[in-house]
């Protein structure tokens, strides 16, 4: 039980590197994908710019209307942003619990 909690805590904790911005000298995904301000303001990519979008759970792109949790990165493999900046590296989620889906679930709990 303690091991499971430790693993979950590790998954949600990512060390934010001070002064590091993945998007420096790059066109950010929200610009390349023409995200409207409403989506950009809700998407965790704008808040956690030290990581590329494909490494963040619950980005707008990873969600769908079929109950996706935001962990499925298959859409990233075909995305022009990943193809341009991902260097062909395997996609590994590094930031959990900060995405849009997490906020929706929190609101659902409050509403019930």
When pLDDT is cut at 50, 70 and 90, the band that residue 11 belongs to is: very low
CB 50 within 8 A of CB 22: yes
Cβ burial, residue 99 (10 Å; 0-12/13-18/19+): buried
Q: Which residues pair with 95 in a beta bridge?
A: 56
112 vs 99, residue with greater confidence: 99
Kindly calculate the radius of gyration of the chain based on its CA atoms and give it in whole angstroms: 15
Rounded to whole angstroms, the Cα distance separating 79 from 33 reads: 9
**pLDDT tens-digit readout, 20-72:** 899 999 999 999 999 999 888 889 998 999 999 999 999 988 886 565 678 88
Sign for the CA dihedral angle at 55, 60, 62, 63 comes to: positive
**pTM strictly above 0.75:** no
């Amino acid at each position: 039980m303690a091991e499971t909690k430790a693993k979950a805590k590790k998954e949600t904790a990512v060390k934010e590197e001070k002064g590091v911005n993945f998007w420096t000298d790059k066109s950010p995904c929200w610009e390349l994908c023409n995200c409207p301000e409403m989506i950009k303001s809700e998407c965790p990519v704008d808040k956690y710019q030290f990581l590329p979008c494909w490494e963040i759970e619950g980005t707008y792109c990873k969600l769908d209307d079929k109950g996706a949790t935001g962990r499925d990165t298959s859409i990233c493999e075909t995305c022009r942003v990943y193809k341009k900046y991902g260097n062909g590296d395997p996609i590994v989620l590094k930031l959990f619990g900060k995405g849009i889906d997490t906020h929706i679930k929190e609101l659902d709990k409050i509403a019930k």
